[in-house]
């Protein structure tokens, strides 16, 4: 990818973001505007400083040979030769179920959750792409793991019980030890541990 010709396809906002990232890999970047919004005057100026050439023509086709991209054919006949194409998208979460259930959303449209996947609706948990803009498999898996921990915690130690005791089940993302003590759980003493582990 280093020093290869790159073409970016997307709207002004996405093109500016991708060009800033990809300029560290290649000085030869072309950008095809597709959709709104268009880049602002300031963004155009910065793209020009990065050496990015903007094209505001319709895309006719993507051309390649033997599985290797060769270029982007514009509607006016021009061919933008390249070895790589990046299509910029801006994911927009859509969850009718979360809306119907009454979940709260942030300003970007993602379901608001705490660190253990709890939504604003009691006993409703959310994870993955619907709660974070980091749309990567590992991030979704981590989010699901956290939500699973929250579900398990709330099943074993219902939040309603903890509130009546004046203690929180969770402290900094972990089970609150004082809550466990209030439920009768005790850490074994060192002497008891040595006795139990001693051979018969």
- pLDDT per position as a tens digit, 53-112: 889 888 999 999 888 999 999 999 999 999 999 998 777 788 888 999 999 999 889 999
Tokens of residue 44, six digits:
């155009």
pTM metric for this prediction: 0.58
Distance CA 81, CA 64 (A): 10
Domains and CATH numbers, the chain: 6-87 (3.50.50.60), 96-182 (3.50.50.60)
Give kind and range of the element (H or E) at residue 143.
helix 137-156
Residue 185 pLDDT greater than 60, yes or no: no
Distance CA 129, CA 111 (A): 9
Distance CA 31, CA 33 (A): 6
Four-CA torsion 120, 123, 128, 132, nearest 10 degrees: 10
End-to-end CA distance of the chain: 66
Please state the length of the chain.
200
- Split at pLDDT 50, 70, 90, the class of 133 is confident
Mean pLDDT of the chain: 80
- Split at pLDDT 50, 70, 90, the class of 160 is low
Distance CA 15, CA 32 (A): 8
Residue 141 pLDDT greater than 60, yes or no: yes
What pLDDT shows up at residue 157?
83
Other CB atoms within a 10 A radius of the CB of residue 25 amount to 14
What pLDDT shows up at residue 147?
95
Strand order in the sheet with 29-33: 52-55, 29-33, 6-10, 84-87
Which range among 35-44, 125-134, 155-164 shows the weakest confidence by mean pLDDT?
A: 155-164
């Amino acid at each position: 990818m280093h020093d290869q010709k790159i073409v970016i396809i997307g709207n002004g906002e996405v093109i500016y973001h991708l060009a800033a990232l990809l300029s560290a890999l290649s000085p030869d970047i072309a950008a095809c505007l597709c959709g709104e919004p268009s880049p602002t005057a300031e963004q155009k100026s910065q793209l020009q400083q990065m050496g990015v050439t903007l094209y505001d023509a319709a895309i006719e086709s993507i051309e390649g040979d033997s599985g290797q991209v060769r270029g982007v054919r514009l509607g006016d006949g021009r061919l933008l030769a390249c070895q790589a194409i990046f299509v910029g998208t801006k994911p927009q979460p859509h969850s009718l179920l979360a809306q119907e259930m009454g979940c709260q959303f942030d300003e970007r449209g993602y379901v608001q959750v705490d660190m253990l996947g709890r939504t604003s609706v009691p006993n409703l948990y959310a994870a993955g792409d619907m709660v974070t803009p980091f749309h990567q498999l590992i991030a979704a898996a981590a989010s699901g793991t956290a939500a699973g921990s929250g579900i398990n915690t709330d099943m074993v130690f219902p939040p309603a019980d903890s509130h009546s005791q004046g203690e929180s089940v969770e402290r900094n993302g972990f089970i609150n030890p004082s809550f466990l003590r209030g439920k009768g759980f005790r850490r074994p003493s060192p002497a008891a541990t040595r006795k139990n582990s001693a051979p018969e």
